[in-house]
A and B are shown apart, each in its own frame.
Chain A
Amino acid sequence: MNPTLQLFLIISAALFCIGLLAALSRRHAIFILIGIEMMLAAAGLNFIAFWRFAPQPAPPTGVMVTVFAIAIAAAEAAVGLALVITVYRHYRTTNVDQIDQLKG
């Protein structure tokens, strides 16, 4: 079976949905972060796939965008984890159900 663009898009969509599901349904803040990272990875996969299946030789924009996205995702994960730690110190929990100070 030859890999086609559709195949990659389906995998990427599946990855995105898994990530979204994790972000929506997990109660632990760190698992929500992981879900968000998975959604980012799905986006990166899309970039690479579209670049790979473009008429070659194509300028390597898809790869560049993904490399930057990975670098930014690393920074984002660092900030996210720092936030989780701060939230934990403040509320003594990382369960997002119990963190509802945004309540109107």
Chain B
Amino acid sequence: MSNWIGAHLWLILAVPLAGSLVILSLTNSRRTAAAALAIVGQVLAFVLSLGAFLPTLQAPGYRVFTNFTWFTFGEQTLRLGFLLDPLTAVMLVMITLVSLCIFVFSVGYMASDKNFTRFFAYLSFFSAAMLGVVLANSLLLLFVCWELVGLASYLLIGFWIKRPSAAAAAKKAFIITRIGDLGFFLGMLWLYGQSGTLLFYDGGNGALESHGLLSLGASATFIALLLFCGAVGKSGQFPLHVWLPDAMEGPTPVSALIHAATMVAAGIFLVARVYPLFSLGAIAGVTPSLTVVVWIGVVTALISALIALAQWDIKRILAYSTVSQLGLMMVSLGVGGVVAGIMHLLAHGFFKALLFLGSGSVIHGCHEEQDIRKMGGLRGRMPVTFLTYAIGMMALSGVPLFFSGAWTKEEILHATLQWPVSRAPHFLMLAGVVLTALYMTRQMIYVFFGHPRGSAEHAHESPPVMTAPLIVLAVCVIAFSVMLTPAWPWLFRYLAGATASFAFSQLIQPGLFIALALVVLGIALGVLIYRRPGELDPMEQSLPALFRFLQHGMWLDELYDRTVLAFARGAARTSDWLDRYFWDGLVRGFGALGSSLGSFTKGFDERAINAGANDAAAAARDLGGLISRRHSGQIQTYLGVVAVGMLALLLLYAWLT
């Protein structure tokens, strides 16, 4: 079994891909078939992923790969491959399980949408592309799947194409991530130029193995930073994070699947995958590229946590929270806590998917209302949603013991403490923990407590097809926390490539108490500040300027509009002006010259030559009139004539030879 799955890793992504293609060929009315195909495909992928996961448990540091030649080009051979190691295996299981829950949820959420089948085709396609990203053993294959993920994200953000805001958000997401991908692409070319291979592992000759790394030398820093540009774009890191909150224009299951649980994790995954490039030549675990990663992560985590405090849209709060958590993961990777970062990625995948689906259930229950000022008191009306949401909220805030987020955050804080360069990230991340608890408490109070406001008065619990995935995910969040406790760190050791043993004494660690104190502080502050939810935010009343600053995302969109976009518009206007006046002026000048020459010769012509030519002209006009009837102005008729003419010429040629 283990060898079989190692040699057939491509099946895991081929199953959802095939499902997607079949669904695309269905008509809009085959709704049941579409949903069934997507879900069955996902179940199969999940089973295969489990099959791939089990053999990796056998020995620490398990790794199999299959490489194949894509094409040979002169001297160069370009090879692709699939890879299975603990990092891939846990990502596979997380992606397929979360996707499965979200697919089922979508059946209920999208029930009244008339493009139901198209939605499931895109979802399956996304899942296949994302599985490709984690399975790739070649930077090129990873890049291809990475771009396919971007395409799926574009299609799904803009799923409601009739909304101009959705179309704009889709374009924004696509273009901004493309800016980062340009860096990724350059880094990939540079890596190929230096090491001559894009395979990660190739029996000692891969780019991430000793032989490949040796050939890189000092350029590794630049290559790593260029690749990091791609991660910044995809994982919504500052300054390219602006697309992620806008991406909430897509249907809520999409936000859950792509913009919270899986796709945005691709950037983190990429950094973890090519970590040897980042850490090459490290002194005490510090390299210039990793330092950049840390500071970008710190800035991202803090500013987005602050912005989340001043949002009214339930999904935008979660979106900024996602950006903030991704920043935290970047910090973790940068300070050397790769395993802690990946564990947080996994834990985050579950609880953020849970939170987003919960918000979807809330939005559905409140008749498509997303403004938390118009909710309130949903605790009694939507009990299942409330309970599962509370579990997600506690996991995100980091309430210890039974919620997965607490353990992983503790690991990350522990890792930042050991960073030799500066203690600042550690303390800033502690502030981030307080902020996270604060904005989540604010959201909980506004949505579920107090009196119903606006459309919340007629709210109703969602159907079982939507609440069941919530319950499954909530159970996963709690069950997952068992695997994360320091008392039994098997996941940690498994990812780090070591064996684990059970040690109860490890359960109680001093860091845990600090984290616990901060979380309690955050929640208590939240309850104190937001105890009377209403139309006005307490911060809006006391600090209106700051609130507005945060509410508009620190005016970053406006800043980009005034700088980058203004530059582009200026360049366009300049070329427009050049086109109109300079080049056109030249053309007109020549035209004027020609026409004055013409008027000079005209007099000569009219008197001397005209007489005889008139008859010929009349004949030509008659002929022209005859031919002009064939000129219908229909481009396609012309093209058809050209095609027939070509065919006739070919036949003539064939006949002559």
Contacts and interface: CB of A to CB of B under 8 A. Distances in A.
Contacts of B163: none
A103 B631 contact: yes
B633 interface: yes
A23 B636 CA distance: 7
B631 A102 contact: yes
A100 B632 CA distance: 7
Nearest to B74: A60
A102 B635 contact: yes
Contact of A103 (B632, B636, B639): B632
Interface string B600-636: 0000000000000000000000000001111111111
A9 B213 CA distance: 44
Contact of A96 (B74, B636, B640, B643): B636
B73 interface: yes
Nearest to A25: B636
Contacts of A71: none
B633 A102 contact: yes
B635 A104 contact: no
A103 B627 CA distance: 11
Contact of B633 (A23, A59, A100): A100
Interface in A33-64: 59-60, 63
Contacts of A23: 636, 639
B73 A96 contact: no
B73 A63 contact: yes
A101 B633 CA distance: 6
A7 interface: no
Contacts of B630: 104
Given A20-B643, A24-B643, A60-B73, A100 B627 contact: no
Interface in A75-104: 96-97, 99-104
A32 B632 CA distance: 18
Interface residues of B, number: 16
A25 B636 CA distance: 8
A24 B639 contact: yes
A97 B634 contact: yes
Nearest to A58: B74
B71 to A, nearest CB: 8
Contacts of A100: 632-634
A59 B633 CA distance: 45
Contacts of B627: 104
Nearest to A36: B639
B642 to A, nearest CB: 10
A104 B631 contact: yes
A52 B569 CA distance: 46
A103 B643 contact: no
A97 B637 CA distance: 10
B631 A96 contact: no
B133 to A, nearest CB: 24
A32 B639 CA distance: 11
Nearest to B638: A102
Interface string A1-44: 00000000000000000001001110000001000000000000
Instruction: Count chain A CB atoms within 10 A of each CB in B627, B629, B632, B636 and give the residue with the most.
Output: B636
Nearest to A63: B73
A24 B631 contact: no
A103 B640 contact: no
Interface string B630-657: 1111111001100100000000000000
A24 B71 CA distance: 35
Contacts of B628: 104
A31 to B, nearest CB: 11
A45 B634 CA distance: 30
A74 to B, nearest CB: 14
A45 B362 CA distance: 52
A59 B75 CA distance: 10
Contacts of B634: 96-97, 100
A48 B630 CA distance: 39
A76 to B, nearest CB: 16
A58 B632 CA distance: 48
Contacts of B74: 59-60
A24 B632 contact: no
Contacts of A63: 71, 73
Nearest to A20: B643
A20 B640 CA distance: 9
10 contacts: A32-B636, A97-B634, A99-B633, A100-B632, A100-B634, A102-B633, A103-B631, A103-B633, A104-B627, A104-B633
Given A59-B74, A104-B628, A104-B629, 6 more contacts: A60-B73, A96-B635, A96-B636, A99-B635, A100-B632, A100-B633
Closest 3 CB pairs of A and B: A104-B631, A100-B633, A103-B633
Interface of B: 71, 73-74, 627-636, 639-640, 643
